Structure 1
Amino acid sequence: MKLTIFSKSLTIGVVLIALVCMIQGCKIQMTFNGASIPENIQTASVQLFDNRAAYINPVLAQTFTEGLKDRIINGSRLTLAEETGDVDFSGAITGYETEPLAIQADARASETRLTVRVNVRYENFKDPEKSWESSFSAYRDFPSDQNITAIEGELVDEIVEELTENIFNKAFADW
């Protein structure tokens, strides 16, 4: 009899602990997906990122800049300022290159990597100690027998999405 009561109490305790963990997990997830932006910051601005890479993709600067704006609009409560906002993003695309990977016996690459590098300056005018400058990079691999011009747009979109997510997280998710 005592064992049955203990067993039921243990089961209820385990269920409660699991429930608390799930609730805490949801809370952490919501905080992670949302942004921890102080209440005094209302606006953000994104300057056009100059393309200073040795090889220039003619649409990359605009694609990247608009991607970062979209990430801020869709991932936070901030509004974009026409001029300079409470926080400001600026910088340059410093690298855009392909390199062969997985060299085969016939000295041909079976895969190629497209890499984009960006230098970002984040200025927080409400709390200047939180300002930073950092480099970010992202890449995508593709089969070397594919024509880069046929898949370049899709690869660039994926890379820009990853880069803007990482920049957003560094600025607003405290990691």
Structure 2
Amino acid sequence: MKDLKLIIVLGLIISVTSCGIYSFTGADTGNAKTFQVNFFQNNAQLIEPGLDIDFTNALQDLVQNQTNLNLVTDSGDLIFEGEITEYRIAPMTATAQNTAAQNRLTMAVNVRYFNSLDEEKDFEQRFTFFFDYPADVQLSSVKSEAHEVLFERITQDIFNTSLANW
């Protein structure tokens, strides 16, 4: 009976250690211990005050929450940087009276990702998403919800492209 317990315990230890450390988010951070997110400046034609710092913080929060990496301000093993390149509102659907029935807020971010431990994983890519809202509603009244949706989708896409190994 003791031998059976010993074999089961050894089998579990071997199977767990042979698979390496597993992340439930699917993040592949390799041997990285730290990451940094440089300030994402808003270079869009339409400047929304605070959008740049809010987006930068959202990306930092997502990486911190989904990995065990430590946030640093310089010399990170993994570095995210870039700029907000688009933030615009456009009419999407029209009514019979030729007025907008729905508006679309679009946000795009250009991201440069550097992995100092594995340069083959470096990339530069544009990420974009949109939020639709009724034309009779002012953006200011849905801005919080819109930013939450935009940030969640764009930061998750950045995370998946840089760290998810799916």
Q: Where on the TM-score scale, by shorter chain, does this alignment land: which range?
A: 0.7 to 0.9
Equivalence for 1:112? 103
Q: SS of the residue aligned with 2:49?
A: coil
Q: Distance in 2 between matches of 1:174 and 1:45?
A: 20
Pairwise CA distance, 1:31: 5.6
Q: Distance in 2 between matches of 1:33 and 1:45?
A: 19
- Tell me if the contact between 2:26 and 2:165 (Cα under 8 Å) persists in the aligned partners: no
Pairwise CA distance, 1:32: 6.3
Larger Rg: 1
- Tell me if the contact between 1:32 and 1:173 (Cα under 8 Å) persists in the aligned partners: no
Q: How many residues align?
A: 145
Q: SS of the residue aligned with 1:141?
A: strand
Alignment of 1:163 onto 2:150 = no
Q: Distance in 1 between matches of 2:81 and 2:155?
A: 12
Q: Distance in 1 between matches of 2:152 and 2:93?
A: 26
What is the aligned counterpart of 2:42 among 27, 42, 51?
A: 51
Letter in 2 for 1:139: F
Pairwise CA distance, 1:152: 1.1
Pairwise CA distance, 1:33: 2.2
Q: Distance in 2 between matches of 1:162 and 1:83?
A: 26
Pairwise CA distance, 1:145: 0.7
Equivalence for 1:35? 27
Letter in 2 for 1:94: T
Q: Distance in 1 between matches of 2:160 and 2:121?
A: 13
Q: Distance in 2 between matches of 1:128 and 1:115?
A: 31
Q: Distance in 1 between matches of 2:131 and 2:153?
A: 10
Letter in 2 for 1:80: L
Report 1:40-119 matches (<5 A).
40-119=31-110
Deviations 1:112-149 (A, max 9, x none): 00000000000011111110000000111001111111
Could you say what the CA RMSD is over the residues aligned between the two structures, in angstroms? 1.3
Tell me, which stretches of 5 or more residues in structure 1 are unaligned?
1-29
Q: Distance in 1 between matches of 2:75 and 2:134?
A: 42
Tell me, which stretches of 5 or more residues in structure 2 are unaligned?
1-21
Determine what percentage of the aligned residue pairs are the same residue.
Answer: 37
Alignment of 1:139 onto 2:130 = yes
Alignment of 1:174 onto 2:165 = yes
Q: What TM-score do you get using the length of structure 2 for normalisation? A: 0.84
